[in-house]
Amino acid sequence: MADHRTAAARRPLISGNWKMNFNHFEAIQFVQKLSYLLGKDDLGEVDVSIHPPFTDIRSVQTVIDADKLQFALGAQHCHFDDTGALTGEVAPVFLAKLGVKYVIAGHSERRELFGETDEMVAKKVAAIQRHAMTPIMCVGETLDEREAGQTETKVLGQVHAGLTGRTAEQVASMVIAYEPIWAIGTGRTATSDDAQLVCAAIRAAVAAQFGAASAGALRIQYGGSVKAGTIAELIAQHDVDGALVGGASLDPDEFARIAKLGR
């Protein structure tokens, strides 16, 4: 497969998705402990984003700002409208005002449990970028789709749909997370070769649609039961530029090990 990497190296991005865990007191304690576990040398070679529940974001932002920590603040989700009669939703402009840098869009749990469509994900990606934040757009296949040999069809279809209306420059600044649904929370992880194969296919599809420069700058994460024991082999793959970490991100010691090994 053609090499679409640019001359500038893509910095690994390790993102911790806390999902519906930790109140704001627990979130503060986690961030403070993580700051002791990850030194300047570690954070000089890898970007680390933390994605707490909405109720924790302001508290985490305060700790990051007050202690001048090198963690990027992230969010797990947002709506695509800035205002409206949408009880329970959170507008992207609210997140931007809190200093959020990365927002996850189209996580498999949002797609599977809350009915988010490819069209909704595309609108969210556009809204996140409209407010100068970076989308982490998730794509991935189910076990049935994998066993039927439909992985590339499903994943590349989601990539194409999610990037609708984006420019080459906008795509270059994004993150795409390949998270096979069958590996999330199951303890099963795609082999490093499998992850590389799909991530390379994503990059090639982006190159075909938006050009080699955008494909080379785009960061592609792997997500799905990522642990310290699996991250080094995954991150060594040419087209894997980091990890979207779920359950293992709830343990600061384990998450710090993942970040260190993901350098």
Token pair, residue 159, equals 């990539």
79 in active site = no
Q: Which one is catalytic: 51, 77, 107, 141? A: 107
Give bridge partners of residue 17 from the DSSP assignment.
51
Instruction: State CA 227 to chain mean position distance.
Output: 15
Torsion sign over Cα 153, 159, 165, 168: negative
Q: What is the DSSP secondary structure assignment for residue 98, as one 8-state letter? A: T
- Distances in whole angstroms, Cα of residue 69 to Cα of each of 29, 61, 136, 234: 14, 10, 21, 27
107 in active site = yes
- Distances in whole angstroms, Cα of residue 18 to Cα of each of 120, 125, 143, 245: 22, 21, 24, 8
CA-CA distance, 175 to 169, in Å (whole number)? 13
Instruction: Name every residue whose Cβ is closer than 8 Å to that of residue 247 and which is 6 or more positions away in sequence.
Output: 185, 225
Active-site amino acid positions: 107, 179
